[in-house]
Amino acid sequence: MATTNDATWLQRKLTELCPNITITVTRDAQNNLVATGSSTLGSFTERSADHDVDTRDEFYNAVRGYFLDLDHDTARAAVKAAVPELPYPTVPLTGAEPSGITSPDADNGVDYIGCGATECAGDWDVSYLAADGHLWDSRRIDEAEENDVLAGYTVCNHCGRVYPNAHRYQGPLPTVARIDVTTDTWLDALDLYNHRTFATQPTRPANQEEQ
């Protein structure tokens, strides 16, 4: 059975395994081991009770894959988080921006990203940016990027907060930029994006030639 030193042992072992992320291990009120891993692009928590294990070694073996995934994603995700200069007007970040959130889709298993801001959460009205920061367009990007769900960014159509897709399956995602969604530049681009992606009729004068 678990011993009083298991939290210290487990934290040391996980830290040795995954040196690129911050790991803490504690015990909750029910004496379960609680292991938390976090990096600049996400975090998650695992409890021993959720894995039906009796020993620290069993728990370590049960959760090490989660931490390895987070650790191995760190290098790639950090590169993806280096947001290119966006082609749309932006507004400054406050330094206390809410994280993006994900929700699994029961029909196709894809995680859709939503804005964590109170005024936007729950509507899932988002658009996708390619790795260069432009609204995704199959006429412009190559097949490799089109098939890479971790390439590029997600932007909330309501408030303009931009989230990197690189960590979408671990979440939460940090706000890395914020587009000014009230400008003609953005509204014209979004109108064209919706037309090309969802076959909607263009509503902006700048896009009428697309009809």
Residues 57-99: tens digit of each pLDDT: 999 988 887 787 677 665 555 555 567 788 999 998 887 888 8
Model pTM above 0.75: no
Q: Per-residue pLDDT for 153 more than 60?
A: yes
Q: Per-residue pLDDT for 128 more than 80?
A: yes
CA–CA–CA angle 113, 164, 70 (5° rounding): 90
Kind plus residue range of the DSSP H or E element containing 71: helix 56-80
Residues 160-200: tens digit of each pLDDT: 999 887 766 666 777 888 999 999 999 999 999 888 888 88
Instruction: Evaluate whether 45 touches 56 at the Cβ level (below 8 Å).
Output: no
Handedness of CA 169, 81, 133, 184 (dihedral sign): positive
Q: How far apart are CA 74 and CA 104, in angstroms?
A: 22
Q: How many residues does the chain have?
A: 211
Q: 100 is written with which tokens?
A: 């993006």
**1: helix, strand or coil:** coil
Q: How far apart are CA 182 and CA 176, in angstroms?
A: 19
